[in-house]
Structure 1
Amino acid sequence: MTIREVASFAAGEWVAPGQGARDIASAVTGEVIASAGNSALDAQAMLDHARGTGGPALRKLTFHDRARMLKALAQYLDRHKQVLYDLSFDTGATQADHLIDIDGGIGTLFVFASKGRREMPDGHVYLDGEVEQLSRGGTFLGQHVCTPLQGVGVHINAYNFPVWGMLEKLAPTILAGVPAIVKPATSTCYVTEACVRLMLEADILPAGAVQLVAGGLGDMLDRLTCQDVVSFTGSAETALKLRSAPHILENSVRFVAEQDSLNASVLGPDVDPDSPEFDLFVKEVCREMTAKAGQKCTAIRRIIAPEDRVEAVIEAVSARLGKTTIGDPRKETTRMGALVSASQKRDVLDKVAVLEREAERVHGDPEDFTVDGADAGKGAFLPPMLFHCADPDRARRIHDTEAFGPVSTVMGYRDLDHAMALANRGEGSLVTSVITHDGDVARQAVLGAGAYHGRIYLNDRTSMKESTGHGSPLPHMVHGGPGRAGGGEELGGVRGVTHYMQRTAVQGSPDHLAAIAGQWVPGAAEVTGPAHPFTRRFGELSIGETLHTEAREVTLADIEHFAEFTGDTFYAHMDAKAAERNPFFPGRVAHGYLLISFAAGLFVEPAEGPVLANTGLDNLRFMKPVEPGDSVKVRLTVKKKTPRTEDYGEVRWHVTMTNQDDERVAEYDLLTMNAY
């Protein structure tokens, strides 16, 4: 059998295993299949390559440029993922597990690519929040902005997700404009290496954007600066050792930790054994115990049920687990494969011995189980094991000991407050789920447990068909948790991108902020275009280009006609005495939407042109009532331009309507799609 040499990709070169290399065994057969590691890697050269070559190349690109790269990368990996499937079977993962790891990682790239194009500017500065007016006259303003760190993201990943674990960190890092050095766990690094080779083969990312360490990092962490970020996934013990290193502390190196945790699932007090929520609860528990052989940082470790339903839960979960086929993950009939290694199997059994001091094993015997198509003695196989703790209040180890495998413990609760207290005994988790059809139970659960858990997953008969599952971190939502879970967070859409950026408070004039942000700010200079802005294509329009309209008088007849035509006969528009009793109005006033319609009539160019569609209004505010006899005029300004497709882009116009005394009566952003 050929032993695969897993190389590192350092400073633009592939470096084969060398001094200090370690053998890697198949989780299924126990045979050595690969070798990885080279203690002679030049850590400083890798950091210099990232900071001096990868970082500058990425920062020259806009957020949209980098988002397009992520999409192209995802498409390429999606076309070539079979090679990753084939390798991943030796990690003990089934084809269903591959969908979580490999397809899940590719999907994460797609999500960040989409969010980058839709939620971030086609520029180099990301705005965090609205403009703050720091002076009475509006000539001195403030704006929080985010710019890319000028260092490198060092990603230390766990063994259980060799592809998703890399891509879920890599996507926001690259989108932020920061290069990455990826260090996967050695036991499954051969899959990560294959994925990195595919990415480099695609020739999409600039040189220095991604490097790979197969094996140990050496002294790399001792060479980091305040511009670098360490993103760690793994055990609490290792995280503590790394994050408390003097160099990390002295230099305030950002350290994001996502650690294993004692996640829980709570069966709501409203759920009876014959309800759809009960069946859902059992399915969720069993899926989380058996997917990836329970080697998921989000897996359910504690099953919390009403005391009078504990027996029913044990019976139902045991029956379902009893149907789980354990075996060679390559076989289509296999539902649960092996743990990642023999050492991991030993660790799980050691932790099981600890749990047995406080809980009784009610299902699964590690000494007597069947493995289909493989040798249980040579592979890292274990059966799903279910425990019951009769006294969870007095117990301690079931709340602080995680057997990182197909192991979970059932315990009973008296009332919902007791259930939340038990969930919180884990001292911080990535996720707790609550299966309930009662909105009040859901609310109490969030209030009672939210502070201890990074995510609370609620599910019932309404959402069960479309829900993604207790153990599925989604790129749109924050993944992380307090306390034992690490105290950090990943993913979360654009929030995850800003972990690799510096938030800076910028203060200055409207013109300063407009120049920095790449979008017009009220008070900044206006530009007069050569023609009506609606006659000019997307690429021809300039930020700050402004149209000032003529004035139009608003008459009582206008108000009454609008009321009759639309059916909006609200008293403030139709009844003078009633309107006068209203503290907001001097008498009968114009409809707000009448004013918006008049605004469009004042600034729209009716002839066919490059404006393809009005797609909406944002931030609409009515500031001063308009009475019959008042006149209104409009200032229309190009605020922001965002490319959308090859054929058109989105133009955000700032619209201000004023009266005859130049007082603002309405203000909003208008969105149009304009042809190139």
Structure 2
Amino acid sequence: MPIATVNPATGETVRTFEPLGADGIEERVARADRTFRSYRATDFASRAALLASTADLLDKEREDIARTMTLEMGKTLASARAEAAKCAKAMRWYAANGERLLADEHPADADVQDSGAHRALVRYRPLGVVLAVMPWNFPLWQVVRFAAPALMAGNTGLLKHASNVPQTALYLGGLFHRAGFPEGCFQTLLIGSGAVESVLRDPRVAAATLTGSEGAGRSIASVAGDEIKPTVLELGGSDPFVVMPSAAGELDHAVATAVTARVQNNGQSCIAAKRFIVHEDVYDAFTQRFARAMEALVVGDPMEESTDVGPLSTEQGRADLEELVDDALARGAQALCGARRPEGRTAGWFYTPTVLAGVTPEMRIHREEAFGPVATVYRVRDLDAAVEVANDSPFGLSSNVWTRDEDEQRRFAADLAAGGVYFNGMTASHPAFPFGGVKRSGYGRELSGHGIRAFCNVTTLWYGR
């Protein structure tokens, strides 16, 4: 795939970039390694001040970078602005909380004495250069949610971004340095996927993190495993959105949330709700309202403030989504709305918001992630069936459950196989809460204290008597 900005609303190639050669890669890896040796010794207060300055600079440049993101991958301009604001918020959160999250831990006195020590403690020390392989769908947020904690912990970073968001990648490569971070703390590598393995195998690179497809995760994990280097993987998701009868009194709110949860980022989000599992007592009422609301969404130019859903990021992405829908329809699913390209649009990679009912396990969409504005709805008879359908997926990123029954909440909290269970609301990442999944959604956690410790050397310091 060429490294290029291609406007998904028009299909026009706006700008192309030459990938870094071997000399350019070596220069940046060496710089990251050199910088780590000195940056690791800086104190938390200095790092916090640098992160806060970066947040301030990002706030000032929010409109420009939002337009760049919209141009490159098609998210609506409103959502791009919100993404930039969220990134600044995360930077400030880690600036305020990083030192506390990495404070020395002191074992109980009895355990210290039992070990024969005079004194003992646990300290979190940075690992070194961390390679981040990041996707296009949240081109700023996915990077910052790694970079902010990694830099606050004293690591340095190398970014291999998706090839269709090179201008956003270059912006990130300069942002931290312009805000005051030493040169080499965070750098962008404009390289294709074929060059990633050699960078990861470089002995100066200590660890890796990837957000992306299952295939990309397998590739990174296999190389890192061979090199015995730690990784964090956040892969695909096909999150369930369960609606139980006790939520009948707030069905309109549940429907509105369901629409947002499905079409956020034009439906191209790992944590978007994709499978809507509805109890038979409220199935008809929910599904009818949901389909009407999805059909009413405005599909159009993502630069226009009135647009609800922009284009898919790539032509191949739309083709993949169409294949899933066509397979389901051919096997007996019913389209309650959508299931087609919008009429009158001859350019750009648009697809209408779609709701499919009557989905069965034989259909590909039952197992595969639909990365676009396509929802599947399932009718279930009781709580046991809801849990069974929700867990009948190779993924386990997050989940959403609408119920006011506390016993049901306890059951879902105990039995759903997911990295998060969100009751009466929509899954959303926040810097204070750990984020990640189970099964084929990956392993490890980003954000919160878990995220900042992910790339630290957890060191036991033991002092004899």
TM-score range, shorter chain: over 0.9
- Is the alpha carbon distance of 1:437 and 1:137 closer, same or farther for their aligned partners in structure 2, counting shifts above 3 Å? closer
**48 and 419 in structure 1: CA distance in 2 versus 1, 3 angstrom threshold:** same
- State how many pairs are aligned: 460
**Corresponding residue to 1:478 among 410, 434, 438:** 434
Instruction: Check 1:129–1:401 CA distance in 2 against 1; reply closer, same or farther (3 A cut).
Output: farther
Offset at residue 131 of structure 1 (A): 5.7
| Alignment of 1:59 onto 2:40 | yes
Q: Which has the larger radius of gyration?
A: 1
Counterparts of 1:376 and 1:127 in 2: how far apart (Å)?
Answer: 60
RMSD over aligned Cα, in angstroms? Answer: 2.3
Rate the CA distance shift 1:314–1:21 in 2: closer, same or farther, 3 A.
closer
Q: Assess, with a 3 A threshold, how the Cα gap between structure 1 residues 508 and 22 changes in structure 2: closer, same or farther.
A: closer
2:170–2:188 CA contact under 8 A, matched in 1: yes
Q: How far apart, CA to CA, are the structure 1 residues paired with 2:454 and 2:257?
A: 32
Q: For 2:273, what is the secondary structure of its paired residue? A: coil
**Which residue matches 1:116?**
98
Whether 2:169 is the aligned partner of 1:192: answer: yes
Alpha-carbon distance in structure 2 between the residues aligned to 1:62 and 1:447: 41
User: Amino acid of the residue matched to residue 176 of structure 1?
Assistant: A
Corresponding residue SS for 1:334: coil
Matches within 5 A, 1:11-410: 22-42=3-23, 43-52=25-34, 54-90=35-71, 91-121=73-103, 126-127=104-105, 133-135=111-113, 140-149=118-127, 151-202=128-179, 204-216=180-192, 218=195, 219-225=197-203, 228-245=206-223, 248-272=224-248, 275-276=249-250, 278-356=251-329, 357=331, 359-367=333-341, 369-370=342-343, 376-389=345-358, 392=360, 394-395=361-362, 397-410=364-377
Aligned to 2:446: 490
Contact 1:132 1:142 in 2 (8 A): no
| SS of residue in 1 equivalent to 2:51 | helix
For 1:266-310, what per-residue CA distance to the aligned partner results, in whole angstroms no more than 9, with x for missing partners?
Answer: 1123222xx12x222211210122221101110111000102322
Report 1 or 2 for greater relative contact order, CA contacts < 8 Å, sequence distance ≥ 6: 2
Q: Secondary structure at the residue paired with 2:399?
A: strand
Does the C-alpha gap of structure 1 residues 414 and 55 become closer, same or farther in structure 2, counting only changes over 3 Å? same
Greater share of strand:
1
Quick check: 1:453 aligned with 2:434?
no
| 1:64 to partner: Cα distance | 2.6
Higher helix share: 2
- Give SS of 2:84's match: helix
- Could you say what secondary structure the match of 1:60 adopts? coil
Residues in 2 aligned to 1:431 and 1:63: alpha-carbon distance in whole angstroms: 32
Q: Flag as ranges the 4+ runs of structure 1 deviating above 6 A.
A: none
SS at match of 1:298: coil
Q: What 5-or-longer segments of structure 1 have no aligned partner?
A: 1-19, 460-468, 511-676
2:363 and 2:4 map into 1 onto residues whose CA distance is: 37
Letter in 2 for 1:417: D
Specify the code of the residue in structure 2 equivalent to 1:168: R
Please list the CA deviations of residues 291-336 of structure 1 after superposition, one character each: whole Å capped at 9, or x if unmatched.
2110111011100010232222220101111221111112121111
Q: TM-score, normalised by structure 2?
A: 0.92
Once the two structures are TM-superposed, the CA of residue 232 in structure 1 deviates from its matched residue by 0.4
SS in structure 1 at match of 2:412: helix
Secondary structure at the counterpart of residue 379 of structure 2: strand
Contact 2:396 2:441 in 1 (8 A): yes
Runs of 5+ consecutive residues of structure 2 not aligned to the other structure: none
Which amino acid counterpart does residue 503 of structure 1 have in structure 2? V
CA shift for structure 1 position 129: 5.9
Secondary structure of 1:75's aligned partner: helix
Task: Say if 2:246 and 2:403, in contact at 8 Å, map to a contact too.
Answer: yes
- Going from structure 1 to structure 2, the CA distance change for 1:37 and 1:345 (only over 3 Å counts) comes to farther
1:453 to partner: Cα distance: 0.4
Tell me if structure 2 keeps the 8 A contact 1:289–1:384: no
Offset at 1:509?
A: 4.3
Native 8 Å contact 1:130 1:143 kept in 2: no
Offset at 1:63? 2.1
Q: In 2, distance between residues paired with 1:205 and 1:427?
A: 41
Question: 2:243–2:279: 8 Å Cα contact kept in structure 1?
Answer: yes
- TM-score, normalised by the number of residues in structure 1: 0.65
